[in-house]
Amino acid sequence: MYEFKYKNNELWCEDVRLQDVASEYGTPLYVYNKQSVIDHCRHIENAFEGVDHLSCFAVKANANVEILKIIADEGIGSDVGSAGELYLSLKAGFPPSKITFSGVGKRADEIEYALDTDILSFNGESVEEIDLIQRIASTKQKIARILLRVNFDIEAGTHRYITTGRKHNKFGIDKSKAKEILLNAAKLSHIEVLGIHTHIGSQITDKETFISAAKSVVSMVDELRSVGIPVHHVNFGGGFGVQYQDFISHPQLPVENADSTEFTTVELIEAALPILKQTGCKILIQPGRSIIAHPGILITKVLYRKVTDEKIFIITDAGMNDLLRPSLYKSYHQIIPLNFESVQIEIVDVVGPLCETGDFFAIDRNLPFVKSDDYLAIMCAGAYGYVLSSNYNGRPRPAEMLVDGYETSLIRKREKIEML
């Protein structure tokens, strides 16, 4: 499932030497492995064997149409958060019957577009939103299917910017109000209530958190059914964490966190699944990172070594405009050389070229010695990488390419400064 490996001290993706890719396509460069995307999809689907379910890929994690086509071909659905993501999903071949629409700020034109497309369902976030969906559906003489997003006030144990299931977060309806809202929604002429939705956060790595959320869902379903509210679908959301530390091993690579707990996405899903099955509902999930993080990397070129009295800076041609996660979330990505030419390990800061102190990929990181014109790979960058990129500091966005066995293909051209 993990197709990035060292061969003779050189990093390869399947049968492609990444040094050659960097030379041909230039840097910064996102590289994805097709087989790894497929494997991750199937790994998750196998966990649901015999269970009535639908996995909907969170398009916000990676919206490249060629990547989306691979996922759609695996029979997985999509979860969108805008008209743009809905458009891309349809372009990639996701059937509308497998598309859900999330987000707290759905515009009227987006709701109209989704209704015209006849998507599976809206994840309703507020009373006003449900009322708007009802009005638009009534005008169009269509039935809008909804799941109410319920906020169970569960601590996700993740970065506060990606915690979404606490009372103080903007997402969902407080669990104490869900029953009344669904009773009223069920009476609306052009609304069909399918069930409930929850999503407690992203990059959650603790099984007990998902178990707690699953128990809350079961309790809510029982409560709703006790007053006659039909519940046929339970959307458990996403947030299934992935392993970022020590993703690639090599005798000369330092072990960054020997005490880190190993886990798999499937183990997190399997912890909650037996509980969710008690509802007898069709179970939906929204995997994003867990499908596309590992299959993608960002290759960057070392521009300069800058040695000061306090630090060794490795200055790269990629910046936080290309990969924002380390600056935004203080998130960890393993950084490794494409080629091993030295056994010397040094403590460095890996930083970008932007006019921001916050433009970094790693601080005080143990890294094999690298010099100008060497290449580095920033691992597990397939999720929330390119989609969060920008033109900050007047820099064009990077190219994206796909590896399939021996073959490489450009799936997004590098921007030019004339496009700014």
Alpha helix stretches (DSSP H) within 293-375: 325-329
Q: Which residues lie closer than 8 Å to 210 by C-beta, 6 or more apart?
A: 204, 240, 268, 269, 271, 272
Residue 126, by phi and psi: left (phi above 0), alpha (psi -120 to 50) or beta?
beta
- With vertex at residue 385, the alpha carbon angle to CA 403 and CA 201, rounded to the nearest 5 degrees, is 120
- Kindly provide the b/e burial profile for residues 223-255, where b requires at least 16 CB atoms within 10 angstroms of the residue's own CB: ebeeeebebebbbbbbbbbbbbbbbbeeeebee
Q: What is the CA radius of gyration of the chain?
A: 23
41, 56, 355, 380: the active-site residue: 355
Write the CA distances from 275 to 62, 163, 211, 216, 221, integer angstroms: 30, 22, 8, 10, 12
Q: How far apart are CA 278 and CA 270, in angstroms?
A: 14
Write the CA distances from 340 to 11, 181, 320, 328, 352, integer angstroms: 9, 60, 25, 30, 22
**203, 188, 171: which is closest to 136 by C-alpha?**
188
Q: How far apart are CA 379 and CA 198, in angstroms?
A: 30
Cis peptide bond prior to 28, omega within 30° of 0: yes
The distance in angstroms from the start CA to the end CA of the chain is 37
Residues 127 and 172: beta-carbon distance below 8 Å: no
Reduced to 3 DSSP states, what percent helix, strand and coil does the chain have, rounded to the nearest 5?
Answer: 35, 25, 40
Q: Among this protein's residues, is 56 annotated catalytic?
A: no
Kindly list the catalytic residues: 355
